A and B are shown apart, each in its own frame.
Chain A
Amino acid sequence: MRRREFVRAMVSAAAAPKLLLGQGQNPAPPPPAPVPWTVGLNSSTPVPKAKLAEAVAEGESRFFTPGQMATLTRLSDVLLPPIGSKPGALAAGVPAFLDFLVGSSPDDRKDMYRGGLDWLDSEAKKKFSLPFSRLNAEQADVILKPWLRTWMSDHPPLEKHADFVNVAHADIRAAAINSKPWSDAPAVGAQEKTQVALYWYPIEPDLYGDRTKAMQVPQAKKGSRPTTELRRNY
């Protein structure tokens, strides 16, 4: 506290008993120092506007290897190129976002992505003697097309390779459609819209919850990951 404010605080504290005596009943006590400015925070106070971090900065890639990232980048561009005025998956920042999403996910999703990207690259080398990241659209189509399936929600294909291709396709599309660049661009025809919905904040969260000992869900032991709970849901 600066000296001048300190002195003023002392003076008002000293004045209080006199006022008490003079009025014979309790007046409202003077508000303590930090309070008055908060009354200025009301509905007419402008709220600062913030940018999305993604709009001004790069996300740090920390999960996929550079080779896997190159494959994912090419895969994203092939599966969702720019159409009309909508950005493609690359302009929507999808590969970097998926590095973040998959990197924070349970092991089975990580394994499916890493295994799937490595498999794409090895197929590309086998068929075209090139890494997947350097295939043209026709070459990539030769590898991808046989694995495309139709499926219903919660039931993606379970067959090896088809699982990765179809789930990655759905993830790439969702990540692009739900990006700000996609939302900002006008749609042509029946292009999908960015999801807008009621978001629920944590409702009276239990801030002490993580101090209790009972919070760990028992996990299957490492190496004995269940093969029977087939349906992937994150």
Chain B
Amino acid sequence: MRQEAVDVLIIGSGHAGGMAAKILTEKGISCLMLNAGPIVDVARNAERKSAYELPYRGFKPPGRLAHVFQSNEFNANVWVDEKEVPYTFDQANPYNWVRVRLFGGRSLFWSRQSFRLSDYEFKARSRDGFGEDWPISLADVAPYYSRVEDIFQVHGKSEGLEQYPDGNFVVDDSPWPTSMLRFAEAGKKIGVPVCRQRSSHGRDGLASSVNLLLPDAFATGKLEAVENAVVRNLTIDKQTGLVNGANFVDRLSRREMSVKAKRVVLAAGTLESTRLLLNSGLGNSSGVMGHYLMDQIYGAGITCSVPEARGGKATPALMGGGALVPRFRNISTKADGFLRGYALNVTSRLGALEARNFAAYGTELQKKMDDYYGSAFYMTIMGEVLGRNENLVRINKDVVDAWGIPTLHVQTKYTDNEYNMARDAVNTSVAMAESAGFEVLSKNTEPNPPGYSIHEVGTCRMGDDPKKSVLNKWNQSHDHKNLFVVDGACFTSAGWQNPTMTILALSMRASEYMAEQMRQGNI
């Protein structure tokens, strides 16, 4: 048994916790990491199979994971089951909370799109008057983004657009297929930029905490980690007001454990970090903890076909590849019906178009699918959701999880701002597709339920004013100076961007600040 308090207790092992562990241990600081789930070994835990070998032929096991649209029978066992860790919501406003508790968390499965926020996000209030500015700007974060982009091997191309800040890229200069060039040309006519995608390549096809961050931390000899440690609450020294440890329960044996710590880094994933703080009764003198839950609207978009690629004429010179349309609304002009903006993911594929793109069946459908094979061209939205006080999570004491820990009630919904944005995205996509000579096969303006993007952020937002924010600009609790929250909970606004690069950069920045404060004896 350990007698002495650990230097730093890190809760969570995903991108945020992995980065904190790497930075702190490389500075010689001893860390203990707790993770709620087990270590996964792909050689032992997974195997390639055909759908017919599975009981439900690949269909999602019925009744399980109703709010994880990403799940199917192959991957059903990697997600947190809402029967084991429930959460509640009003049936009129469903929420898709998509969670992974394996070691490495959701960093094992993310889509790897890698974007910086711009000052259109950091300083959004200054531009349109809504919400709050972040207490930091792109200039504060840029050096950290650069280092993160190096670790994650982000491929991309400099575009020179203020709303799509350039970075430290492995240059992607591969030629675009002609269908993508036509789409870009259609964008140019109406002032919509069509840019290169930016994506983390990592190492060996994986860009995760478990291969890019944690090995460095373990190599220092300064990191200890415990799996299956479900943290119940943080504890506090009543004399000093500082956090001094955590109580956790072993997931499998259900043995209750406790650990002492001099400092705590919370990196359990946006809503789990907030749930833990609310269950501990810590850090909420402002009263805004749990509020301003945000994410991004996904699900709206269109599916097209490039006519020249039909009838077996699809070639890599014509089809394939991807592009990104960064936010273009409310940059130099003002959009009608919504604040902020959205990006479009653009992909073109040489394979089959899904049967649902044709109102036909049987032999007629097969003829269509043969003809249209290789001609698919998709556009889908990634839209900013505004941070609103009334979109929130709170503790539901009446429902507890498998270890008796009170759960979250999620109360959030989209408003006209998001719905109008989704319609605009579809209308713009259709206009560009038609201008490029593509046939629009199907479209959808209805966003997926909140949470679906797995980009939930906010609920412990950062700010300079302790009355209006939970964390300061260093991800440090205004109330307990030895407590840091380094995951997406700190976001002041969501942006349209995949939040991963920002979470990594801010965790790196907060951890270096923390190490320096420790060196100076301040915490």
* Whole-angstrom CA separation of A81 from B363 in the bound complex: 8
Give how many B residues have a beta carbon under 8 Å from the other chain's beta carbons.
76
Are A200 and B52 CB-contacts (below 8 A) given A206-B251, A215-B402, A228-B91?
Answer: no
Bound form: Cα–Cα A67–B361 in Å: 23
**Segment 157-205 of A: residues with Cβ below 8 Å from B:** 166, 169-171, 173-175, 178-180, 183, 189-192, 194-205
* B5 partner residues in chain A, CB cutoff 8 A: none
User: Which of B45, B62, B363 is the one whose CB lies under 8 Å from A105?
Assistant: B62
Verify B299–A155 contact, CB threshold 8 A: yes
Cβ of B116 to closest chain A Cβ, rounded Å: 29
B335 interfacial by beta-carbon distance below 8 Å: no
The answer, among B66, B88, B94, B361, for a CB contact under 8 Å with A79, is B361
Interchain CB contact under 8 A, B77 and A200: yes
Q: Are A198 and B48 in contact (CB under 8 A)?
A: yes
The listed residue with most B CB atoms (<10 A of its CB), out of A79, A195, A200, is A200
**When A155-B446, A201-B45, A218-B86 are in contact, do A150 and B56 touch as well, CB less than 8 Å?**
no
A81 to B56, CA, bound (A): 22
Give chain A residues whose Cβ lies under 8 Å from the Cβ of B361.
78-80, 144, 148, 169
Contact with A along B51-66 (1 / 0, CB 8 A): 1111011111011001
Is B94 within 8 A of A229, CB to CB? yes
Which residue of chain B is the closest to A167 with respect to CB atoms? Answer: B356
Residues of A within 8 A of B164 (CB): none
Q: What chain B residues lie within 8 Å of A81 (beta carbons)?
A: 362-363
Q: In whole Å, how far is B426's beta carbon from the nearest beta carbon of chain A?
A: 10
* B465 interface residue per 8 A CB criterion: no
Given A198-B74, A203-B102, is A209 in contact with B301 using a C-beta cutoff of 8 Å?
A: no
Q: Decide if the interface of chain A is mainly helix, strand, loop or mixed.
A: loop
Query: What string of 1s and 0s marks CB contacts (under 8 Å) between B85-109 and chain A?
Result: 0101001111000000010000000
Mark each residue of chain B from 1 to 12: 1 if its CB lies under 8 Å from any CB of chain A, else 0.
Answer: 000000000000
Interface residues, chain A, CB within 8 Å of chain B? 52, 78-81, 83, 97, 101, 104-106, 109, 144, 148-156, 166, 169-171, 173-175, 178-180, 183, 189-192, 194-209, 212, 214-218, 220, 226, 228-229, 231, 233-234
Q: Which residues of B contact A (CB under 8 A)?
A: 37-38, 40, 42, 45-54, 56-60, 62-63, 66-67, 69, 73-78, 82-84, 86, 88, 91-94, 102, 228, 251-252, 254, 299, 301-303, 352, 354-363, 366, 369-370, 373, 399-404, 441-444, 446, 448-449
A-B residue pairs in contact (CB < 8 Å), sample of 26: A101-B59, A105-B62, A150-B441, A150-B442, A152-B443, A154-B448, A155-B446, A178-B58, A180-B50, A192-B355, A196-B49, A198-B42, A198-B48, A199-B49, A200-B75, A201-B77, A204-B37, A204-B228, A204-B252, A208-B254, A215-B84, A228-B92, A228-B93, A229-B92, A233-B67, A234-B66
